[in-house]
């Protein structure tokens, strides 16, 4: 396997223990405000996280409400192949659809069976397909549900935080983007200090903290860069022999 690395690194930040900690200065991604006694309160818009599509997947449980047709309204579990079964219309492919898209698909199927102006509402009761895997040097590795608010720091907090010997400069996120397997290297301490944003986490991401096979992808960068000022991203490609 070979690795094509796209680096977004600025110079490593070196902290001197002898001279004491230098004052924090503004950077491209961090603005330091002088003479402020505390954090101001957020505005209403600051409390709203941008919407991310939440897709229905195998083994999710959904509520289907067909207005005026209580016999068709029900709670169902999506089967392992991503389909649901309903009276009158048979099976419907739910996999990879949002609740609104599935509602429209069921409405179209009902129209084909002579139901006039069907109105269908879908609510996801529980989701087991929209999860992130947190592994490595965390207190409780495992699968955790993904919401619109999920970020790297929140995912690690869901896993009860870093373990005692976790390497804060060695956190890898594995993700598939447009069919390509990608990896991003992040530094928890740099995020904590505001050097760059806490990255968003999406369903099917894999987060690996600390000493694991995935960290070998970046061992050379980790050894010379104790504090990343920006994420390091790589596209993983298999070499055909």
Q: What pLDDT score was predicted for residue 180? A: 85
**Residue 162 and residue 144 share a domain:** yes
**Residue 212 and residue 186 share a domain:** yes
Residue 38 within a domain: no
Q: Which of 2-11, 46-55, 96-105, 180-189 has the highest mean pLDDT?
A: 96-105
Residue 161 within a domain: yes
**Residue 172 and residue 97 share a domain:** no
**Residue 105 and residue 122 share a domain:** yes
The Cα 171–Cα 152 span in angstroms is: 9
pLDDT digits (tens, 9 = 90+) for 194-231: 888 899 999 999 999 986 445 555 665 555 555 556 67
**Residue 214 and residue 141 share a domain:** yes
Q: What is the average per-residue pLDDT within 4-19?
A: 40
16: pLDDT strictly greater than 60: no
Q: How many domains does the chain have?
A: 2
Q: What is the average per-residue pLDDT within 14-35?
A: 61
- Domain range for 174 is 2-8+129-237
**Residue 233 and residue 134 share a domain:** yes
Which class for 77: exposed (0-12), middle (13-18), buried (19 or more C-beta within 10 A)? middle
Tokens of 112: 């084909």
Tokens of 39: 């954090």
Last residue of a domain, one of 126, 146, 177: 126
Residue 52 within a domain: no
Q: What pLDDT score was predicted for residue 51? A: 72
Last residue of a domain, one of 94, 126, 158: 126
Q: What pLDDT score was predicted for residue 226? A: 55
Which class for 56: exposed (0-12), middle (13-18), buried (19 or more C-beta within 10 A)? buried
Q: What pLDDT score was predicted for residue 53? A: 78
**Residue 117 and residue 134 share a domain:** no
CATH of residue 212's domain is: 3.10.560.10
**Residue 107 and residue 201 share a domain:** no
CATH of residue 67's domain is: 3.30.1950.10
Q: The dihedral of CA 32, 38, 44, 50: what is its sign?
A: positive
pLDDT digits (tens, 9 = 90+) for 154-206: 999 999 999 888 888 889 999 988 888 888 889 999 999 888 889 999 999 99
pLDDT digits (tens, 9 = 90+) for 40-81: 777 887 777 677 778 999 999 999 999 999 999 999 999 999
Q: What pLDDT score was predicted for residue 34? A: 72
Global pTM reads 0.67
Q: Where does the pLDDT of residue 232 fall: very low under 50, low under 70, confident under 90, or very high at 90 and above? A: low
Residue 17 within a domain: no
With CA atoms as reference, report the closest residue to 228 among 152, 151, 155, 168.
168
**Residue 221 and residue 122 share a domain:** no
With CA atoms as reference, report the closest residue to 82 among 57, 104, 106.
57
Residue 13 within a domain: no
Residue 18 within a domain: no
């Amino acid at each position: 396997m070979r690795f094509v690395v796209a680096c977004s690194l600025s110079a490593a930040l070196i902290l001197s223990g002898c001279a004491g900690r230098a004052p924090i200065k503004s950077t491209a991604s961090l603005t330091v405000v002088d003479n402020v006694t505390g954090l101001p309160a957020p505005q209403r818009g600051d409390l709203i996280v941008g919407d991310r599509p939440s897709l229905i997947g195998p083994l999710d449980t959904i509520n289907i409400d067909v207005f005026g047709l209580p016999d068709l309204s029900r709670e169902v579990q999506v089967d392992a192949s991503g389909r649901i079964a309903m009276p009158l219309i048979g099976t419907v492919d739910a996999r990879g659809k949002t609740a609104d898209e599935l509602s429209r698909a069921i409405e179209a199927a009902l129209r084909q069976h002579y139901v006039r102006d069907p109105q269908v509402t879908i609510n996801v009761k529980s989701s087991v397909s929209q999860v992130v895997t947190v592994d490595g040097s965390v207190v409780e590795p495992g699968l955790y549900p993904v919401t619109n608010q999920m970020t790297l720091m929140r995912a690690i907090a869901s896993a009860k935080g870093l373990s005692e010997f976790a390497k804060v400069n060695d956190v890898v996120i594995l993700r598939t983007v447009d069919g390509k397997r990608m990896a991003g290297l992040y530094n928890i301490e740099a995020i904590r200090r505001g050097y760059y944003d806490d990255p968003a986490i999406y369903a099917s991401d894999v987060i690996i903290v600390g000493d694991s096979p995935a960290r070998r992808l970046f061992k050379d960068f980790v050894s010379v860069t104790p504090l990343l000022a920006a994420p390091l991203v790589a596209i993983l490609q298999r070499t055909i022999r």
